[in-house]
Structure 1
């Protein structure tokens, strides 16, 4: 079993974890996950992520942001709420924020506005960015380019794109988060071919739990809820595709995540 893993994206504030959250965290720790960054992705979800993070000092951390699906809720009050959250030491990144033209749950102008306002928060706080992009590559690059020289490190979370998108992000010095999408033979097979091009100091791993259960788990779980305990499986699959020892991949992704988010060594 792999040890000292960091899950950089787990939605533990999701309602599916309400009844057994402590057990989920315990299982993750028992399966080698030393630290987790909990995703804040809405006005309600971001304070919930912080609330949970405060229950695990040195182990649990949070992001605070508004996902493009929720961009319509990004009011002046929402902006003030986010800025207050970013004054808290457990909140280590701005986001999840970005653009999603795949589903368009919020109008595209609202998405672009919410994204830009959150980039202002990142510029003001100096915190790293936890980014989302789906089917919006050109607009995504264009908006980020407007903040050139004002932003800190960036990770494109749950990368599912094509080679040209990956190359564009790497050329700009950004980081890449890989999830169990890699393990989906229907949608993620192309990732297995291109993850070899990600430098070790730019690569991180995440479950995006409760979403994206790895389809290569054996035996298959009796449920569809993903958990951070499966991060080691994602790491092993990624290592195989990169031609690395899983221990090497684990150590590199952990070192990269600690440096990116400024995380301390976990408590013993």
Structure 2
């Protein structure tokens, strides 16, 4: 049996990476087998974290040949990257079903499965016959950060000097920060119609909670175990208009902390009176 596994072609072995827990599955190197490890430049005795880093980089390089569309989200969901609970033993079918059920994509499960199986996987197999590009220490460090945060490589991240950084240092002028918020993308929990969900904070009233990056939202969701019907993506301007259009006075919390009373320096509250002002200018 051992001999038979060692002779398994890389083209066959690569088709097992998305199964079970995907990239997080135990014994990933064993699933891949010696020939695929060698093809991708992974030492047989490499630590599990290093195996995941290189696998993630190889898959990412194949995916780069496709425009950033729903396919990217489908692929990383299939490999279990960016999931709220990567350790959950759900399997690729359930992961894609959940993606569809939560409104993450606008296509059916059957279409998701077809795009992954008939579009992406053949591209991965074809890539094995080409010369494998070098992987640098910088590449590995980047993959390590993606894995540590459990975020997709193509997920928008707050850049240095971006909105998240500006919020953390509100000694900066307020108007430029607000302009960055209004013009930029934000992510947040939404109902099945794509409308942002409100959080009732007792005497503080009702608030819409949004995040300046998918990584921040994923971290919040993992810390709190929140189960939202779907995730929405809007501009800050859209969220202001929706907050202003509600019957009850509603504020917006940008980058709320999952720990009560902690991380307030990284959270920007826009109270209802500020929302009313911004709405008049939108």
Q: Give the TM-score normalised by structure 1.
A: 0.28
Q: TM-score, normalised by structure 2?
A: 0.27
Structure number with greater Rg is: 2
Structure number with the bigger relative contact order (C-alpha 8 A, sep ≥ 6) is: 1
